[in-house]
Amino acid sequence: MEPHPITNLKPQGALHAWEEFIEENVYPQPGAKAKDDYRNYDNPARETVREFYRQNHRYQTVEFVRQKRNAFLGLKRKRMGIFEALDLLNTLVDDSDPDIDLDQLQHLLQASEAIRADGHEDWFVLTGLLHDLGKVLCLFGEPQWAVVGDTFPVGCQFSDRIVYQEFFAENPDSLDPRYNCQLGIYDKSCGLRNVLMSWGHDEYLYQVVKEHLPEPALYMIRYHSFYAWHREGAYDWLCDDHDREMLSHVREFNQYDLYSKCSQPPDWNELRPYYSKLVDKFFPAALAF
Ligand code: FE
Ligand code: FE
């Protein structure tokens, strides 16, 4: 397989010794970001983001999604606790996000702290802290275009309300008569749980935590990157009444995912005891990833 041009992450291969793998492959190392990368701060759609979506839209096919689900949803990669996963995640920067160069832990903490400050229930606060943990997929050698960014259904026509939809012209499913008509492989109102979403951190984390959190939390995790649905209103024809009921939760969560940027960054060390208790309330000491 060819190396990925955006990140220097290798495509999935033999799993390296954990620490060695992170050392060699995680990009960029904190504090070691190339100076040139900083020039694009003013550009709302950094070239990296565009290139990211070109790859994502080209390669996310039905076949690809099925392959990744088979490869990862057996959850046989690693057993680890939530805190261990958080520490690992913190070595990544998300190429798909034009707005932030925050480290991942800060993003999660700012979201969860904003949810907490608004007096929401504890499972909601915890969801803020966890929602991007599926990005540990990058640490299993996956390229970022197969981990982060907006998600969308595969197996039916791509909506023109998906970001950078012009890049779907390069996706072979766009030419496949099984998939390029409106319904594609689905029945109308079949429910999102029966839909194959483009592969990434949402579905993966949902599968990891699904036994442990209430239903609205699971929707927030599973569909938080499905902007064409929760923000643009597309794909209602795939939804059933349960999905429509849950949509308001996904939207409420999105406010915190996008707009929680505090000038005073939360202090992880100070907050750790609170979150440790919260994690213990909902999760066992180790989860299968
Ligand atoms: Fe996310
Ligand atoms: Fe997020």
Residue-wise pLDDT for 51-79, tens only, equals: 999 999 999 999 999 999 999 999 999 99
Q: What is the pLDDT of residue 32?
A: 36
Neighbours of ion ligand 1 (CB under 5 A): 132
Does position 288 have pLDDT exceeding 50, yes or no? yes
Cα 98 to ligand 1 centroid, rounded to whole Å: 13
State the Cα–Cα distance between residues 204 and 30, nearest whole angstrom: 25
| Contact status, residue 162 vs residue 205, Cβ threshold 8 Å | no
- Of 232, 209, 230, the C-alpha closest to 221 is 209
Mean pLDDT of the chain: 85
Q: What is the pLDDT of residue 111?
A: 96
Torsion of CA 221, 227, 231, 235, to 10 degrees: -100
Contacts of 84 (CB under 8 A, 6+ apart): none
- CB atoms under 10 Å from CB of 227, counted, come to 18
Work out the pLDDT band at 45, boundaries 50, 70, 90. Answer: low
Work out the pLDDT band at 25, boundaries 50, 70, 90. Answer: very low
Q: What is the pLDDT of residue 94?
A: 60
- CB atoms under 10 Å from CB of 133, counted, come to 23
Cα 69 to ligand 2 centroid, rounded to whole Å: 22
Label residues 137-166 b or e (16+ Cβ within 10 Å = b): bbbbbbbbbbbbbbbbbbbbebbeebbbee
| Contact status, residue 94 vs residue 135, Cβ threshold 8 Å | yes
| Contact status, residue 96 vs residue 54, Cβ threshold 8 Å | no
Closest ligand by atom to 104 CA: 2
State the Cα–Cα distance between residues 109 and 125, nearest whole angstrom: 9
Percent of the chain with pLDDT over 70: 79
Tokens 């990296």 correspond to what residue?
48
Cα 97 to ligand 1 centroid, rounded to whole Å: 10
Cα 180 to ligand 2 centroid, rounded to whole Å: 30
Cα 50 to ligand 2 centroid, rounded to whole Å: 19
| Contact status, residue 184 vs residue 155, Cβ threshold 8 Å | yes
The tokens of 27 are what? 């990009």
Cα 177 to ligand 1 centroid, rounded to whole Å: 31
Q: Where are the domains of the chain?
A: 46-288
Neighbours of ion ligand 2 (CB under 5 A): 132, 257
State the Cα–Cα distance between residues 282 and 124, nearest whole angstrom: 12
The tokens of 145 are what? 């275009």
> From residue 134, how far is each of 105, 124, 165, 207, 225 by CA, in Å?
13, 17, 24, 10, 12
Q: What is the pLDDT of residue 103?
A: 80
State the Cα–Cα distance between residues 72 and 50, nearest whole angstrom: 27
Most confidently predicted of 4-18, 29-43, 81-95: 81-95
State the Cα–Cα distance between residues 127 and 249, nearest whole angstrom: 12
Q: What is the pLDDT of residue 259?
A: 78
Cα 247 to ligand 2 centroid, rounded to whole Å: 17
Work out the pLDDT band at 1, boundaries 50, 70, 90. Answer: very low
